[in-house]
A and B are shown apart, each in its own frame.
Chain A
Amino acid sequence: MSSESAPPITVMVVEDDAAMRQEFMLMARQTPGIALWGVAESLASARALLTDGPGRDGARPDVAIVDLGLPDGDGTLLIHELCEHGGRTGVLVATVFGDEAHVVRAIESGARGYMLKDSPIAEFARSIRLVSEGGAPLSPQVASHLLKRFVPPPAAALPVPVPQGPACQPLSAREAEILTLIARGHTVAEVAGKLHLSPHTVGTHIKHIYDKLAVNNRVQAVNRARATGQIE
């Protein structure tokens, strides 16, 4: 889809496994329209890239592929740093299983989805393009998790009411509809067809859901900090 004249999508790879790193680099080099921005094997080297490497002038990659289990710390820390202050980098988590425990943690830190480490090159390119355009791949399992997060179970089933801060943004009816359909296994295109929307509109809704999650996460973080007395 990318035209020849458009500037290439810059990609940063943060992965501690040497063979996997090589594989990602190879795929990035082989894919037209994608340029490798930097490669790091640890949190420290990734931060060095952002402060002293190509990012010393405040430049940031379009897309970052981040492994969570890095030798010197958790990849979610890096995701936080890349995404705070409205960072323009779209982050994908590199994972072997795409399991809920890993993916949800990463998404709550600001990641825009995950990429399976055994993805073929076409899928690799597709995901990077989607994220660089501001979209977000959303798996049914993550969608079902998000539904539960945004829509608390009926009050009667809970021993205590869920504290809902005024700043916590609930899902719109449309967004909940989209999440429900995706949780049932439908693709974005199918959801668009069922709801008589354009795939682009559905993509925008999904992006909004991610943004709300990020905002709510920040609100929760502030509330948590306030509760523990870290801020006044």
Chain B
Amino acid sequence: MRSRVSAWPCAALGRFLLWLALALVLVPACWAQPAASAPLELRFDAAEFAVGDTAHPPADGWQQQALPDEWAQNHRDLDGIAWYRVRFRLQEQPAQSLVLYVSRVAVTAEFRLNGSVLNPEVRFTPPGGLLGSQMTNRPQWLVLPAGLFRAGDNELMVRVQGDPVTGGSLSALRIGPAETLRNAWLLRHVPQQVVPAVLFVLLGTTFVIALGVWWRVRSPIHGHFVLAMGLWTTLLYGYYFPEPPVTRAVLLMCMAVLLIGFRWALLGLCWRFSRSTWHWFPKVLNVALGGSLTAALLMIAFGLRLDLLAWALLPGQLLRLLTAVMLCHWAWRERTWQAWALAGAEVIWFSGTLQFILIVMHVIPAEPFMISPADGLPLFLVLVALYLHRLTSELNQAKLGQQAAIHAERLRILHDMHDGMGAQLITALRLARLPEASAGAVARNIEDALQDLRLIIDSLALSDEQLLPLLGNLRYRLQPRLGELGIRLDWHVQAVPDLSGLTPQSALGVLRIVQEALNNALRHARATNLVVTIGSRGKALAIDIEDDGVGFDPAAKRSGGRGLTGMQQRAARLGGSVSVLVREAGGTVVSLTVPPGSMAALAARPA
């Protein structure tokens, strides 16, 4: 049952992809049949064609040309302006206005019916000047007022400017009532104008949100996602400029560089979001697209022929195909919805380009629609879904990590309490239960426990890795008792080495050693003068506690990690050492040395 449930989305998705593939093949084939012609519908699948870089149609040189006409296929060396002309007879003027629908024209075209210019706003690109109107992805819909037609001979003239790199193109020309042509127009207008507009808005929004996330998270995969979304948004923005205020050369350079960068980022992102076993893939991607980007930049820098830039785009196309294969292979192995969705979306994305290439090569008809650039929408949606999926799992991970840290800190505090005050309280309890219990001894052990608890609490308040306020607090609490006992304490603070990475745990270790040394001087050494010096020995932290008492009893070993052995064990755990010097003239010096870095390293070690 369980496996059925998890297999369902895959099966459904598989069926969906199958239908989609069928639709891609069958629908254009069905549409290619000429529609039943309405009374006033004209369709021209051929025109007279002549080359002429003039503002007016050439007088001669006309020859017959089938439509659609792709320059890349039929007029390879044509680089400039060409004219198309169709002539037709009408018995009478049409009763209503009609529409001229042209599904595809590249790059700029002016339409004239009986000498009247139908789209006077169109601007052609002057040699070396700023780009004129870019009409490649805009199906043309021009209203023809009934008065423009003549009873008898009519002439429809199209002046087309091609592009030296991508060539020119003109599809079949259709004239008819708006209601008859609307569906055909929508079928091109929606994927080429509406869907990219929606995609642009979605991309821009995603880019801004992802940028915000990246600003906080700063992980490479988030940066990669932001880069891909940003480049994609920029590309689509360029797509919407009907008249970009640049020269053709600049536009070509920008588009080539942007396109290579975008493909590099997006295909890399596909790889990152997949768990494909083809580990060589990123290397191939980086070499191929890094190489083509370098090649493109070199061509631009050395001013080579710009039409060669198209060759720099070729590796990107091949890598898209390779990515589709890689993702399909991965999906076949993993059979998860993520894998199928990503592979399917990448195949759809590539199919748009494939369709375009096949159209230009006259293998398939250009009607009724072209899926590029709407073909990117599924890939975008899948990438966003995978991104969100990843983001939520990262947040869950972070939460788990936080819980683990809290748990570790609790364990540490528990350990600290067990280590010091717990043992002291048990000693106090044992002492109190003895028949000959001495109130003083019990009180002293409880006092020790309380002191230790205060050290634990102080160490938790460690801020900015500052040990001095904690040591100072220890003294501040001790001072009244010293005053009571008539003991003088000299407190010297010298330059303290850098204690970066100091943790509460290591601060507590230092505090406990100092506390124990002072307790010893107060209780056992019968000292009257104490000197505490906080400073450095070389790069190490050094704390010396000096008294003028009767000395230290090295053999004394008491509970709760106290006594000399206890101090030495604590110092060893800090990565430092404690030495005790008993002076012949009287007095003891307890010296604690902790080398730099060892207090930070302690934090990394498991408790």
Contacts and interface: CB of A to CB of B under 8 A. Distances in A.
B471 A185 contact: yes
A105 interface: no
B484 A122 contact: yes
Contacts of A126: 480
A183 B474 CA distance: 11
Contact of B454 (A98, A101, A123, A186): A98
Interface string A104-122: 0000000000001011101
Residues of B contacting A: mostly: helix
A184 B468 contact: yes
B141 to A, nearest CB: 53
Nearest to B466: A144
Given A99-B457, A100-B461, A140 B484 contact: no
Contacts of B461: 99-101, 141
Given A99-B458, A186-B491, A186-B493, A140 B450 contact: no
A93 interface: no
Contacts of B521: none
Interface in B403-458: 447, 450, 453-454, 457-458
B472 A183 contact: yes
Interface string A183-218: 111110010000000000000000000000000000
Contacts of A39: none
A66 interface: no
Interface in B458-510: 458, 461, 463-464, 466, 468-477, 479-481, 483-484, 491, 493
Given A97-B453, A184-B493, A185-B491, A140 B468 contact: yes
Nearest to B460: A99
Contacts of A98: 454, 473, 477
Interface residues of A, number: 25
A63 interface: no
A116 B477 contact: yes
B263 to A, nearest CB: 36
Contact of A140 (B454, B457, B463, B476): B476
A139 interface: yes
Nearest to B476: A139
A182 interface: yes
Given A97-B457, A98-B454, A184-B468, A141 B481 contact: no
B390 to A, nearest CB: 27
A141 B457 contact: no
Nearest to B491: A185
Contacts, number: 78
A185 B468 contact: yes
Contacts of B534: 185
B84 to A, nearest CB: 63
Given A98-B477, A118-B450, A185-B493, A141 B458 contact: yes
A183 to B, nearest CB: 5
A187 B454 contact: no
A184 B532 CA distance: 12
Contacts of B454: 97-99
A22 B15 CA distance: 84
Nearest to A121: B484
A123 B477 CA distance: 10
Contact of B472 (A119, A148, A186): A186
Contacts of B476: 139-141, 185
B574 to A, nearest CB: 20
Contacts of A187: 479, 491
A186 B484 CA distance: 18
A12 interface: no
Q: Which residue of B454, B472, B493 has the most chain A CB atoms within 10 A of its CB atom? A: B472
B479 A144 contact: no
A85 B470 CA distance: 35
Contacts of B463: 144, 148
B481 A184 contact: no
Given A99-B457, A99-B458, A141-B461, A190 B491 contact: yes
B297 to A, nearest CB: 37
Contacts of B480: 119-120, 122-123, 126
A78 interface: no
B469 A183 contact: yes
Contacts of B464: 148
Interface string B199-217: 0000000000000000000
A92 interface: no
Interface of A: 97-101, 116, 118-120, 122-123, 126, 139-141, 143-144, 148, 182-187, 190
Interface of B: 447, 450, 453-454, 457-458, 461, 463-464, 466, 468-477, 479-481, 483-484, 491, 493, 534
Given A122-B484, A141-B476, 14 more contacts: A97-B454, A98-B454, A122-B480, A122-B483, A139-B473, A139-B476, A140-B469, A140-B472, A184-B469, A185-B491, A185-B493, A185-B534, A186-B491, A187-B491
Q: Which 4 A-B pairs have the closest CB atoms?
A: A185-B472, A140-B472, A144-B469, A123-B480
23 contacts: A98-B473, A99-B457, A101-B461, A118-B450, A119-B480, A120-B481, A122-B483, A123-B480, A140-B468, A140-B472, A141-B461, A141-B476, A143-B472, A144-B463, A144-B468, A144-B469, A148-B463, A183-B468, A184-B493, A185-B468, A185-B472, A185-B474, A186-B472
